[in-house]
Amino acid sequence: MSSPATTRRAAIPPLAIIGALFFIFGFITWLNGTLIPFLKLACELSYSQALLVTFAFYIAYVFLALPSSLILQRTGFKNGMALGLVVMALGALVFVPAARARSFELFLAGLFVQGAGLSLLQTASNPYASILGPLDSAARRISLMGICNKVAGALSPFIIGAVVLRGASALERQLAGPLPPVQRAALLQQLADRVIQPYLIMAAALLLLAALVRLSGLPELALHQADDHNEAATAPAASLRQFPHLWLGVLAIFCCVGVEVIAGDTISQYGRAQGISLDVAKNLTSATLVAMLVGYLVGLVTIPRYLSQAAALRLCALVGIGFTVGILLTHGYPSVLLVALLGLANSLLWPAIFPLSIRGLGSFTEQGSALLIMGIGGGAVLPYLYGRLSEVVGLQQGYALLIPCYLYLLFFALKGHALPIRRAVRYAVPVS
């Protein structure tokens, strides 16, 4: 039998590969915060239309999560991850004709394809990180993956924003003035074309990473190995309906991703509304992600030694409620700062919800994980609802949408995750 130290050492190389994947798709995911003001300007959109960027990207998870689990059954984890990276590269390539035609619909199609590739990667990587070690410390490992994700996310707005939104404030003022139609169209086309080179580089990097993953020594991992960590392993369940905490966890992931995306992808536009120039506001998403990074570092130190996963979730939900109330009651830089600090409140939501939700699933872990990935659709629905609400009540008051989300997460932390597993009821057939 392997010693715990040997087991931990054996888990390091797979986790390093998973960490690299989290870095790559963190970089791509958090580009949406830059793409929203970019496409709003380049395609002349309303704010709610621009938020279809997040809708197209995250709605892919709803459609692709369950098929992704079936794909992984056929390909295995390593080949499935490589396939996901190839799909993401194809999505990046769609940006080339989208920019040439300045077609918002094509941009959305490219984002949907990228989301589809990420769905496949997420379906494999999150349970992988959960299972490579004791389940009660899974939040710590997922926090480590989150650090890779959020470091990349904090860098991406600076790197891509410096290219596609260079001199954005001056260009915005120029477009707001009287311009001949031909000159206006030429300026907008020049702006749209800025996205081509970064996305061609991104596609090449994703294809290279796919080849490296395919050739790597990443071991295969059957999700039923999680049985060793689950109390349900000795009492198999008959269906997913017997796990109420899983279904509540799906809704918790829906709320978690929704509030995370709202905080990260709306802060730039909110900063503009609070008097901050676009040249500064385009980088505000990075401030939210830096706050999340701090939260992940706290999670690495405290979970599970000082805080249980449920306690961390309770604390984050309460902090989120407090910060949201502060956003609604303050103005200017303090209010924008509190939006950025929501990253701190959101940091340990996913790392706690995922392992709490797959508790006791046993042989159903794979299907349960796919359902939880479907919950990422909250990143499509809730930001779009925020956009529509903000057009009625204003950008600031629209953040009130976050309060019921954090209240539900508090319920899941207090009670929802601990609901007992329902055992199958077997009825005896009477003998006449």
Predicted local distance difference test score (pLDDT) of residue 152: 84
407-416 pLDDT, tens digit each: 999 999 999 8
Which CATH number among 3.40.50.970, 3.30.230.70, 1.20.1250.20, 3.40.50.1220 corresponds to the domain 8-216+236-418?
1.20.1250.20
Cα(296)–Cα(28) distance, rounded to whole angstroms?
19
Under a CB-based contact definition with an 8 Å cutoff, are residues 409 and 313 in contact?
yes
Question: 164: closest CA among 114, 88, 98, 258?
Answer: 98
Predicted local distance difference test score (pLDDT) of residue 323: 97
Torsion of CA 84, 86, 91, 94, to 10 degrees: -170
Under a CB-based contact definition with an 8 Å cutoff, are residues 360 and 117 in contact?
no
Cα(366)–Cα(117) distance, rounded to whole angstroms?
18
383-404 pLDDT, tens digit each: 999 999 999 999 999 999 999 9
Dihedral angle sign, alpha carbons of residues 14, 17, 21, 22: positive
3 state SS for the chain: CCCHHHHHHHHHHHHHHHHHHHHHHHHHHCCHHHHHHHHHHHCCCCHHHHCHHHHHHHHHHHHHHHHHHHHHHHHCHHHHHHHHHHHHHHHHHHHHHHHHHCCHHHHHHHHHHHHHHHHHHHHHHHHHHHHCCCHHHHHHHHHHHHHHHHHHHHHHHHHHHHHHCCCHHHHHHHHHCCCCHHHHHHHHHHHHHCCHHHHHHHHHHHHHHHHHHHHCCCCCCCHHHHHHHCHHHHCCCCCHHHCHHHHHHHHHHHHHHHHHHHHHHHHHHHHHHCCCCHHHHCCHHHHHHHHHHHHHHHHHHHCCCCCCHHHHHHHHHHHHHHHHHHHHHCCCHHHHHHHHHHHHHHCCHHHHHHHHHCCCCHHHHHHHHHHHHHHHHHHHHHHHHHHHHHHHHCHHHHHHHHHHHHHHHHHHHHCHHHCCCCCCCCCCCCCC
Angle formed at CA 295 by CA 293 and CA 298, multiple of 5 degrees: 115
Predicted local distance difference test score (pLDDT) of residue 177: 74
> Rg of the Cα trace of the chain?
22
Question: 266: closest CA among 291, 292, 287, 294?
Answer: 287
| Token output for 214 | 């395919």
- For residue 427, give every residue at least 6 positions away whose Cβ sits within 8 Å of its Cβ, in sequence order, or none: none
Cα end-to-end distance, the chain, whole Å: 53
| Averages of pLDDT over each 10 residues, the chain, 432 residues | 50 72 83 86 87 91 82 81 92 95 95 91 69 62 75 82 79 78 87 91 92 76 47 53 90 96 91 86 86 86 83 95 97 94 92 86 77 89 93 94 97 89 53 38
Length of the chain: 432
| Token output for 347 | 């940091």
Angle formed at CA 153 by CA 76 and CA 57, multiple of 5 degrees: 60
How is the chain split into domains, by residue range? Answer: 8-216+236-418
**Residue 262 identity:** I
| Token output for 167 | 């001199």
pTM score > 0.85 for this model?
no
Under a CB-based contact definition with an 8 Å cutoff, are residues 93 and 203 in contact?
yes
Distances (CA, A) of 60 to 85, 307, 349: 15, 34, 21
Question: 385: closest CA among 403, 371, 399, 406?
Answer: 399
Under a CB-based contact definition with an 8 Å cutoff, are residues 269 and 36 in contact?
yes
Predicted local distance difference test score (pLDDT) of residue 1: 47
Cα(210)–Cα(122) distance, rounded to whole angstroms?
15
Cα(370)–Cα(308) distance, rounded to whole angstroms?
24
